[in-house]
Amino acid sequence: MTDIPLSTQTSVAGADRKGWSTIALRWLLFVMLGLFALFYLMPLFVMVTTSLKSLEEIRTGSLIALPRSVTLEAWRTAWSGACTGIQCEGLRPYFWNSVLLAVPAVLISTVLGALNGYVIAQWRFKGANIIFALMLFGCFIPFQVVLLPMARMLGILGIAGTIPGLIFVHVIYGLGFTTLFFRNYYVTIPHELVKAAKVDGAGFLRIFFAIFLPLSLPIITVSVIWQFTQIWNDFLFGVSFSSAGTQPVTVALNNIVNSTTGVKEYNVDMAAAIIAGLPTLFVYVLAGKYFIRGLTAGSVKG
Amino acid sequence: MTVWLERNLPRMVLAPSFIAVLIFVYGFIGWTAWVSLTRSKLMPRYEIDGFIQYKRLFASPRWDTAMDNLYIFGGLFICISMVLGLLLAIMLDQRIRIEGALRTIYLYPMALSMIVTGTAWKWIMNPGLGIQEMVRGWGYESFTFDWIVNPDRAIYAVVIAGIWQSSGFVMALFLAGLRSVDGEIIKAAQVDGIPTWRIYTAIIIPSMAPIFLSAFIVLAHLAIKAFDLVIALTGGGPGYATDLPATYMYAMAFSRGDLGQAASSAMVMMAVVFAIVVPYLYSELRAKPHD
């Protein structure tokens, strides 16, 4: 697990003497950075302002204009009245589906990942590395290749189109990543610790709970945030393995946007999109450091 | 008994996950490979019948479009995201006081679902009320930006949204890389009076080669798997102008009821990922033997 030294400064700049060209360059730099910030913020700004406008104002006004009169009507419709096909209950039931789906799936895959990582990093036995490699490769497969057999398997298990079925799928295909996180974290803990604990008579589980678990808070955070973002944002599994009533919020959002009944309500679409994006956005703002660590853990391994 | 249990507990803990991976990853890949060699339609059949599905696939104009789109989307998405990410990282590396805030702004799209991103950009780029109408409202009556509904341009609209979503992530990767370059070498170069841009092109960027590779792998992987973004932005349309392999596979599996085509297109996707990821994983695992 590489700790990204985002805060330590070994910057190149700063040694230059202050001249006119340096100052001009500095200004250019700020202008560029500002323009890029606008580029990244613009869609969010447009989403928020559009969601607060009335349909009438959307038709007559400009895309980036601030709302003349703020109305929360679109938000209310998006939450509890918008139509996803024939049903018009808004995002609310699907939002809770996603919560009911994400919470157990995140917890189970993180617990299993922690135990797997602990075994692979500290209790190596013959073949453990091959098992790790096989699991790691599982992170990279395009899920299309397991979609068809999984649909049949869920049918055989009797959990097709249910939330437990989706939890099952997310746990299985999240295991590779959670195992990778914990394995790379635990591998940095000295082996002597386990040896000493064994001499003192502690067993496999005792050592895990007394020594490793207390050290694991950062990596648990990384794993929980990564899994939560993945599962909340998932669309492919959701659209393939859910049925009417058990769809996660991303699928419902797509249905609302593409629902053909009645007038196209852009303000409702935007409010719905923000609602669907809020939980992961919230996690990102709250714990961005750990989010970035999760993102980079799979690619900058050390 | 307890001794036996204690000795085998590690294996027993790992076993369920290992078996699950064997079945649900490798077994399932095997199943899909098998079905891709049969004449399965709505229901899977198990009599092997050669490469008929692959022949059909490569003869299909829709698959052709999907692969062409993958090259266009993948190529532009990877290149522009990398260039933009590197540029942003270098700019942020110049001792910017509000670096933290800017980093947060550049990276937040990565936290959003592609469906959310797609919905937002679909609205922004719709010709009726989006950017086109806005610029026309400023007095440029002939301004046209209808990529999203133009079959020849729609895939580029997907590229724009994809870059918006992922370039911040590349920035974070490169920034981490820039910060991990040995500070002593940079100081020595500065003492020697080497200009800053030369320090970047001659020392820093070459030493980040592994990060370029990582970024490439991640982006290529995202491109091949791209599904939600297209569904939300264009639904694969107009017609099937923005189909990608992932949407082709999905259409065959769940709306056309053509399991043979779904399986064979999934296997081709798998082969592309395999060709990119396996050499990378192999070198990663070889370079750092976990002793």
**Mean pLDDT, chain B, as a whole number?**
88
Q: With CB atoms and an 8 Å threshold, state whether B123 touches A270.
A: yes
Residues A194 and A288 reside in one and the same domain? yes
Q: What is the mean pLDDT of residues A102-130?
A: 91
Nearest CA in chain A to B251: A240
Q: What is the mean pLDDT of residues A42-71?
A: 86
Q: Is the pLDDT score of A181 beyond 60?
A: yes
Measure the CA–CA gap between B68 and B244, rounded to whole angstroms: 8
Domain assignment of residue A10, yes or no: no
**Mean pLDDT, chain A, as a whole number?**
86
- Shortest CB distance from A43 goes to which of B93, B164, B169? B164
Q: With CB atoms and an 8 Å threshold, state whether A281 touches B111.
A: yes
Calculate what percentage of chain A has a pLDDT beyond 90. 47
Measure the CA–CA gap between B155 and B241, rounded to whole angstroms: 7
Residues A31 and A170 reside in one and the same domain? no
Per-window interface: A 187-216 vs B, CB < 8 A: 187, 203-205
Domain assignment of residue A9, yes or no: no
Domain ranges of chain B: 56-287
Q: Which residues of B48-68 are buried (b: 16+ CB within 10 A; e: fewer)?
A: eeeeebbeebeeeebbebbbe
- Which chain B residues have a beta carbon less than 8 Å from that of A300? 173, 176-177, 210-211, 214
Domain assignment of residue A264, yes or no: no
Per-residue pLDDT at A260: 67
Residues A104 and A186 reside in one and the same domain? yes
- Shortest CB distance from B134 goes to which of A64, A138, A253? A64
Q: Could you give the angle at the alpha carbon of A42 between the alpha carbons of A40 and A47, nearest 5°?
A: 120
Q: Is A253 helix (H, G, I), strand (E, B) or coil?
A: helix
Per-residue pLDDT at A253: 93
- Which chain B residues have a beta carbon less than 8 Å from that of A63? 124, 129-131, 133-134
Per-residue pLDDT at A94: 93
A4 vs A53: which has the higher pLDDT? A53
Q: Is the pLDDT score of B291 beyond 80?
A: no
Q: With CB atoms and an 8 Å threshold, state whether B129 touches A175.
A: no
Asked whether B155 and B239 are in contact (CB, 8 A), the reply is no
Residues A165 and A286 reside in one and the same domain? yes
Question: pLDDT band at A6, cuts 50/70/90?
Answer: very low
Calculate what percentage of chain A has a pLDDT beyond 70. 91
Q: Provide the shortest C-alpha distance from residue A171 to chain B (in Å).
A: 10
Residues A34 and A125 reside in one and the same domain? no
Per-residue pLDDT at B148: 85
Q: Provide the shortest C-alpha distance from residue A159 to chain B (in Å).
A: 15
Per-residue pLDDT at B116: 94
Per-residue pLDDT at A105: 96
Q: With CB atoms and an 8 Å threshold, state whether A32 touches B91.
A: yes
Q: Which CATH architecture has domain B56-287?
A: Orthogonal Bundle (1.10)
pTM: 0.89
Residues A184 and A241 reside in one and the same domain? yes
Q: Is the pLDDT score of B44 beyond 90?
A: no
Per-window interface: A 90-109 vs B, CB < 8 A: none
Per-residue pLDDT at A301: 42
Domain assignment of residue A172, yes or no: yes
Q: Is the pLDDT score of B92 beyond 80?
A: yes
Q: Which CATH number do you get for residue A145? A: 1.10.3720.10
Whether residue B238 has a cis bond before it, omega within 30° of 0: yes
Q: What is the mean pLDDT of residues A14-41?
A: 82
Least confident among A265-274, B9-18, B125-134: B125-134
Residues A66 and A98 reside in one and the same domain? no
- Which chain B residues have a beta carbon less than 8 Å from that of A136? 281, 285
Least confident among A145-149, B120-124, B146-150: B146-150
Per-residue pLDDT at A5: 44
Q: Which residue of A8, A49, A144, A226 is the best one to mutate when testing the B interface, meaning the one whose CB has the most B CBs within 10 A?
A: A144
Using a CB–CB cutoff of 8 Å, tell me whether B61 touches chain A.
no
Question: pLDDT band at A17, cuts 50/70/90?
Answer: low
Q: What is the mean pLDDT of residues B5-21?
A: 89
Per-residue pLDDT at B47: 80
Single-letter code of the amino acid located at A1: M
Single-letter code of the amino acid located at B23: I
Asked whether B227 and A235 are in contact (CB, 8 A), the reply is yes
Q: By residue range, what is the domain housing residue A34?
A: 20-71
Asked whether B116 and A253 are in contact (CB, 8 A), the reply is yes
pLDDT single digits (tens) B227-253: 999 999 988 878 888 999 999 999 999
Q: What is the mean pLDDT of residues A75-84?
A: 84
Residues A187 and A57 reside in one and the same domain? no
A279 vs B137: which has the higher pLDDT? A279
Per-residue pLDDT at A3: 40
Nearest CA in chain A to B123: A266
Residues A118 and A244 reside in one and the same domain? yes
Residues A177 and A281 reside in one and the same domain? yes
Asked whether A236 and A143 are in contact (CB, 8 A), the reply is yes
Q: Provide the shortest C-alpha distance from residue A103 to chain B (in Å).
A: 17
Question: Hey, which bits of chain A come out as E strands?
Answer: none
Rounded (10°) angle between helices A217-233 and A288-297: 80
Per-residue pLDDT at B186: 83
Residue A191 buriedness (CB in 10 A; 0-12 / 13-18 / 19+): exposed
Number of separate domains in chain A: 2
Residues A106 and A172 reside in one and the same domain? yes
Measure the CA–CA gap between A256 and A248, rounded to whole angstroms: 13
Per-residue pLDDT at A2: 39
- Which chain B residues have a beta carbon less than 8 Å from that of A258? 235
Per-residue pLDDT at A99: 95
Least confident among A82-96, A153-167, B166-180: A82-96
Using a CB–CB cutoff of 8 Å, tell me whether A23 touches chain B.
no
Using a CB–CB cutoff of 8 Å, tell me whether A295 touches chain B.
yes
Per-residue pLDDT at A7: 42
Using a CB–CB cutoff of 8 Å, tell me whether A276 touches chain B.
yes
Residues A110 and A32 reside in one and the same domain? no
